[in-house]
Structure 1
Amino acid sequence: MRFGGWRNLRLGRVAGIPVHVSPTWFVVAAVITVGFQPFVARTFPDLGSAGYVVTFAFAVLLYVSVFLHEVSHALAARAFGLPVRGITLHFLGGHTEIERDAPTPGRDLLVSAAGPAVSLALGGLALAASIPVTADIPEYLLRVLAAANIVVGAFNLLPALPLDGGHMLRAAVWRFTGDEHRGTRVAARAGQVLAVLVLAVPFAVAGGRPTTFGLLWGVLVAFMLWSGATQSLAVGRMRARLPDLDPRRLLRRAVAVPPELPVSEALRLARERGARSMVITNSAGAPTALVNDAALAAMPEERRPWVPASDVARPLRSGMVVGVDMRGEDLLRAMRHELTSEYLVVDEQGRMLGVLAASDVDAALAGR
């Protein structure tokens, strides 16, 4: 598993859900440890270099809180029957990978609200726990942890994708308009607006003269918001096209060829019959392999009369066969079980109708 090109480290499982941490977390832990040390030094001037231990402890406690925030999303999703692939902690916080969206706006709202609710609850608990504590450093850690969780919870409630509040806004628009895709568009555009506003925060806080650390943090958060909102828009457009994803409309006409037929002859036969794909069949006429477009294109023309068509074909496996009645998400789910470039499309009786190219499906989802 990867995040941003880094290979993630597996920590274990919670309620059967895999938990990973990105190596980028260690980068952020170092930034927090060094960046917040001056604040600790002003509060506890006698600590010296031991102040780094305090700031590192805060970084660890903060990410424990982030972990609990993500676990709440995962458990809420599981409670509604939504499969959860895993939880990943990374430099921007955390991410819970839920296999599919909630089927109703009400469930979507509850799954989204679970994380901020836990963050705000943790903030309240940490603040309450700090009251009877008399030791200076534990009290300080509890109070800054309370403040951090309250800020994280409140920030996540902002109605803008990819924040939890954006998902809640999406669910609300979906509920009142009956249009899930309109909800996505509204919340994603709000996310782009918020990203621009975040860039102004370091200037507003510092009276027009932001620190380098504040400016970099603002740019990083704005980039995260803009990227997430833009990706949500793209995914929303793709999901809007899912109902039109129909093998009947996308399949390529195919010609059956025997395995020993030279590639050049197979291509000639395909041209004569107006076919764009070729299926290898056995002596009984049953399909056994699909000619791979990439392998065919890579073969030099002078070799084609001497190479049998079976040499540029992939053996047909059960996952490479899709029914003509599969549409939308059902079709994509079937394709995900066997990732390949070509699929054989069959009718209800198992008879070959043609070939579905993954590139054609991608183009349809992209609106090309």
Structure 2
Amino acid sequence: MADPDPRPDRDKAVDEAPPTYRAPGTIKVGSIAGSDVLVTPSWFLIAALIAWLMAPRIEAAEPGLGWLTYVAGFAFAIVLYGAVLLHEAAHAVVAKRLGYPVGVIMLHFLGGATAVESEAKRPRDEFWIAVVGPLVSLAVGAAAFGVSFLTPDGLIGLLVMGLCITNLFVGVLNLVPGLPLDGGRLLKAGVWGVTGNPNRGSIVAGWAGRVLAIIVLLWPFTQGQILGVQPDLTDYVLAVIIGVFLWSGASAAIMSGKVRLRLPLLVARDLARRTLAVPADLPLAEAVRRAQEAEAGSIVTVSSAGEPIGLVHEGALLATPEERRPWMATSTVTRRLEEGLTLPADIDGEALIQAISKTPAPEYLLVEQDGSIYGVLVTSDVDAAFSAGA
């Protein structure tokens, strides 16, 4: 846990955060620590539901409000989500202080989400970014509990107790060890710290999240026996919504962890095809003959100075009838070596996948550190190697 910071330019990483992307239909309501705060249309649904559910309690606390009862209920929802915003802002502030770029803070139907734009580099970073949100919720709940002794009965007292109960609930719930909850990230950090592998942490915390999702789905069927309170339709609907949310988030974490575990198997040097360098104006038939003779699986065209300038596209070559190949220059079925199509021969793992994703192409030229040609990497070979490790 005392490892040195591997990012000496961490402030620069924050300054170079990617531009904010605003999902269609969202509404910007402000910004915190440089991150836009967005509200999704679904938030208005939960705000209306809170206003409707709180109406009887508000009427009991302040009789005679009439239609203002629902206005007060809506205001109650705003205050509650203000506390959720504090929770998410805490994630954003700590992530930025640790050097991670943060996109938007989103408030939605099930609460909020903070878009930290890069994966944590160390277990302790994962721990602190995750734990600060629940701690803020617990602090707000504790503060509201203390203030409740000073507030009079009525609407204000109801609001303060509501803040107390909901924040304590959110704080405790988010400490439950299962992704996608903050507690799942704490579990991931713990497994990561023990095993040295963040992907195993994601898989373990994802399975814990799936168990939690099943518990949530089954809760309405057991709450009568446990609490003595029979569930109503709202309980079942909320259990399904929350359970599906937890299951999908946990499943995504498991899938991501499994994918990342296989990435080290992808080594460009091991997957490269032997290549033959030929002049660009050499007849295609002769280039193919030489490649077969040399048992090369790919062809690179070079300039008169020996500099690589193009890669023979395997698909274009196979689509060219053999009777036409003697009369065609090899350059007619090549793709020019543009930026991103030349990769270091030692590239592997996640760096390899990122390079391929950044510049999609069927083939890439692999070169040694001195610039000499090592071979050609074919994307279909990378896909086959990845699938074989599944």
The reply to whether TM is greater than 0.5 is yes
The yes-or-no answer on 1:229 pairing with 2:250 is yes
Rounded to whole Å, the distance in 2 between the matches of 1:120 and 1:155 is 10
For residues 261 and 91 of structure 1, what CA distance do their matches in structure 2 show?
64
Match in the other structure for 2:178? 160
Cα separation, 1, equivalents of 2:366 and 2:185: 37
Greater Cα radius of gyration, structure 1 or 2: 2
Once the two structures are superposed, residues 144-183 of structure 1 have per-residue CA deviations (whole angstroms, 9 ceiling, x without a partner) of: 2332222111111001122111121222233345554443
> What is the rounded CA distance, in whole Å, between the counterparts of 1:124 and 1:111 in structure 2?
21
1: CA distance, partners of 2:26 / 2:379 = 28
Distance 2:66 2:375 in 1: 73
CA positional deviation for 1:248: 0.8
Deviation, structure 1 residue 96: 2.8
Unaligned stretches of 5+ in structure 2? Answer: 1-20
CA contact (8 A) 2:275 2:376 kept: yes
Match of 2:6 in 1: none
From 33, 41, 60, the equivalent of 2:48 is 33
- CA deviation after TM superposition for structure 1 residue 347, in Å: 0.7
Decide which of 32, 47, 67 is 1:49's aligned counterpart: 67
SS in structure 1 of the partner of residue 70 of structure 2: helix
- Which of 322-331 and 308-317 deviates more? 308-317
Match in the other structure for 2:222: 204
Q: Percent identity?
A: 40
User: For the residues of structure 1 that align with 2:151 and 2:323, how far apart are their CA atoms?
Assistant: 81
The corresponding residue for 1:79 is 97
Write out per-residue CA displacement over residues 105-129 of structure 1, whole angstroms, 9 at most, x where no aligned residue.
3332222211111111222233444
1:106 maps to a residue whose letter is: R
CA contact (8 A) 1:30 1:56 kept: no
Match of 1:122 among 140, 161, 181: 140
Residue 145 of structure 1 is matched in structure 2 by 163
Superimposed CA distance per residue, residues 249-295 of structure 1 (whole angstroms, 9 cap, x where no aligned partner): 223444556667788887777666655555454444433344566x7
Contact 1:8 1:20 in 2 (8 A): no
Is 1:21 equivalent to 2:38 in the alignment? yes
> How far apart in 2 are the matches of 1:303 and 1:68?
71
**Closer/same/farther in 2, CA of residues 281 and 42 from structure 1, 3 Å limit:** same
Report the Cα distance in structure 2 between the residues aligned to 1:177 and 1:165, rounded to whole angstroms.
18
Per-residue CA deviations over 1:90-114 (Å, capped at 9, x if unaligned) read: 3333333334433333332222211
Q: For residue 28 of structure 1, report the CA deviation from its aligned partner.
A: 3.3
Shift of 1:83: 3.7
For 1:221 and 1:148, how far apart are their aligned partners in 2? 16
Which of the residues 168, 186, 193 maps onto 1:175?
193
CA displacement, residues 210-248 of structure 1 (integer Å, 9 cap, x when unaligned) = 333221211111112111222212222222223333111
The 1:176–1:349 alpha-carbon spacing in structure 2 relative to 1, beyond 3 Å, is closer
**Cα pair 2:50 2:74 within 8 Å, conserved:** no
Length-normalised TM-score, structure 1? 0.79
Partner residue of 2:77?
A: 59
Cα 1:200/1:334, change in 2 over 3 Å? same
After superposing the two structures, state which structure 1 stretch, 101-110 or 271-280, moved more.
271-280
Q: Which amino acid aligns with 1:212?
A: L
CA pair 135-237 structure 1, distance change in 2 beyond 3 A: same
Q: Partner letter of residue 197 of structure 1?
A: I
* Aligned positions, number: 362
Distance 1:86 1:364, change over 3 A: farther
- Alignment root-mean-square deviation, CA: 3.8
User: Aligned residue for 1:112?
Assistant: 130
Provide the C-alpha distance between the structure 2 equivalents of 1:224 and 1:336, rounded to a whole number of angstroms: 28
